[in-house]
Structure formats: structure tokens, C-alpha cells
Amino acid sequence: LVRYTNNSGKDWRPRASGVFKTLYDVFFINTSEGWAVGKDGVIIHTNDSGSHWDILRGSAF
């Protein structure tokens, strides 16, 4: 699960990330492309501002 905002951080809403492991950090290089890393080395990537995430390394469970 990741959280997103569309009002500069005033409110945050949950969005499915496709993984059920704890995510530790998220980094975006611009408004569209970002990565998140988590438990057991899982790495996920988005190129649509976090609407969809792809698993690059590790497993969802």
C-alpha cells in the first residue's frame, strides 16, 4: 500500500502498490516516475505518478 495526494500533501489517500510487504522508502525523479523499496529487497516502479506499480525485484508476498 502506498499513499498519494492531489492537493500538495493536505490529504493523503491509500492506493494499492501490488505488494504486501512493508515499503520503507519512495523516491520520484519527476512527477511521473518513481521507485519504492521494501522488506526482503522488493523494488517497485511507476511511470504514471503512482497509479500503477510494477514489481522489478522480489515478490509481492
Residue 16 lies in a domain: no
Classify residue 36: in a domain, yes or no: yes
60 within a domain of the structure (yes/no): yes
- Residue 34 falls inside a structural domain: yes
Residue 47 confidence (pLDDT): 97
* Placement of cell 491509500 in the chain: 14
Per the listing, cell 504486501 goes with: 20
Question: What is the predicted pLDDT for the residue at 22?
Answer: 94
- Is residue 32 in a domain? yes
pTM, two decimals, is 0.84
Structural domain span for residue 25: 21-61
Q: Give a yes or no: residue 6 inside a domain.
A: no
- Report if residue 46 sits inside a domain: yes
| Coil, helix or strand at residue 46 | strand
Number of structural domains the chain divides into = 1
38, pLDDT greater than 90: yes
pLDDT over threshold 90, residue 37: yes
The C-alpha cell of 6 is what? 492531489
